[in-house]
């Protein structure tokens, strides 16, 4: 297998997370060919040294490692097996899927690629755009542990990689991460409702509990967005809902009931259904205020 900076990489999906990840690889000295459905987003990486391909299949020809960072399982399936990527890859190459998809889909992709002599890792990430930009992502990898070790130089510019088990377990870990994120966002938002309804300051409340047992990255980042009323689109709620749908479906397949997850999933579904899909998931506060806040009670 090719090693070190001599590896040629293809990066498929250069959106919010994919672009800074690809840029980190480029600035670490790797040769990277990029493709994105919206070509402009791929073209933005040219000043960093990227080569832009017209199709996913063209991007992966002759490369040894392919990263995918796509919207969902259907998009990954289409790019790998509908748009010719699997056929264009040489035997012995490696696909690292950093998209957030279901564990079952990840295992199915691994099996189909293995039939062609192609290795597969499901390696979703957490840390948001900031983590992708500065290279501090938490990377949860499922698949062959020895292969993950061999790719340490590729993962290093991106963040900290942890092998969490066989194929599909990276996606299981990401689902667990997304459970914690969604439920904690809901908890912080409800706490803001409580404090404000009682006449307190949400900004002062957040400052007061920083460093205590309620401290978290969610309180730090998303809590500040709630205080500032500046939600943006960094983590679209429609993608949070997609992850929650995968969590609930996976739990059902394992005969598990997850009441807190199901409750917050219902609120996100309502928020997205009423036009909040592109709003950052911290914007769940807006939905809770409208539906349950004092102003909604008349």
Which are the catalytic amino acids?
174
> Taking a C-beta distance cutoff of 8 angstroms, is the pair 69, 21 a contact?
yes
DSSP labels, 69-128: --SSHHHHHIIIIISSHHHHSPTT-EEEE-S---HHHHHHHHHHHHTTT-EEEE--EESH
Task: Please tell me the distance from the alpha carbon of residue 103 to that of residue 254, in angstroms, as a whole number.
Answer: 12
Give the contacts of 225 (CB within 8 A, at least 6 positions apart): 231, 232, 280, 282, 283
9, β-bridge pairs = 32, 65
Tokens of 65: 């490692």
> Taking a C-beta distance cutoff of 8 angstroms, is the pair 24, 43 a contact?
no
Task: Please tell me the distance from the alpha carbon of residue 164 to that of residue 161, in angstroms, as a whole number.
Answer: 9
Task: Please tell me the distance from the alpha carbon of residue 22 to that of residue 178, in angstroms, as a whole number.
Answer: 23
Helix crossing, 169-197 with 284-292: angle to 10°?
Answer: 50
Give the contacts of 122 (CB within 8 A, at least 6 positions apart): 97, 101, 103, 106, 109, 110, 141, 142, 143, 167, 168, 169, 170, 171
> Taking a C-beta distance cutoff of 8 angstroms, is the pair 8, 64 a contact?
yes
Question: CA nearest 228: which of 202, 263, 254, 191?
Answer: 202
């Amino acid at each position: 297998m090719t090693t070190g900076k001599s590896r040629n990489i293809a990066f498929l999906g250069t959106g919010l997370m994919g672009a800074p990840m690809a840029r980190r690889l480029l600035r670490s000295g790797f040769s990277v060919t990029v493709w994105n459905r919206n070509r402009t987003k791929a073209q933005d990486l040219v000043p960093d040294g990227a080569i832009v391909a017209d199709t996913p299949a063209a991007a992966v020809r002759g490369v040894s490692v392919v990263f995918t960072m796509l919207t969902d399982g259907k998009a990954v399936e289409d790019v790998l097996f509908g748009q010719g990527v699997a056929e264009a890859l040489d035997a012995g190459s490696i696909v690292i899927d950093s998209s957030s998809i279901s564990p079952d889909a990840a295992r199915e992709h691994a099996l189909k690629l293995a039939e062609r002599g192609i290795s597969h890792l499901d390696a979703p990430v957490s840390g948001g755009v900031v983590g992708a930009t500065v290279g501090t992502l938490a990377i949860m990898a499922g698949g062959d542990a020895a292969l993950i070790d061999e790719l340490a130089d590729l993962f290093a510019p991106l963040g900290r990689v942890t092998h969490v088990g066989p194929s599909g377990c990276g996606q299981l870990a990401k689902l667990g991460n997304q459970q914690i994120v969604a439920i904690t966002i809901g908890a912080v938002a409800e706490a803001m409702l409580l404090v404000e309804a009682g006449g307190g300051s949400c900004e002062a409340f957040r400052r007061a509990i920083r460093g205590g047992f309620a401290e978290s990255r969610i309180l730090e980042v998303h809590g500040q967005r709630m205080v500032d009323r500046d939600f943006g689109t960094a983590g679209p709620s429609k993608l949070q809902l997609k992850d929650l749908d995968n969590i609930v479906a996976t739990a059902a397949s394992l005969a598990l009931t997850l009441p807190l997850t199901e409750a917050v999933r219902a609120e996100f579904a309502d928020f997205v259904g009423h036009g909040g899909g592109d709003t950052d998931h911290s914007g769940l506060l807006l939905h809770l205020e409208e539906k349950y806040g004092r102003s909604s009670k008349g």
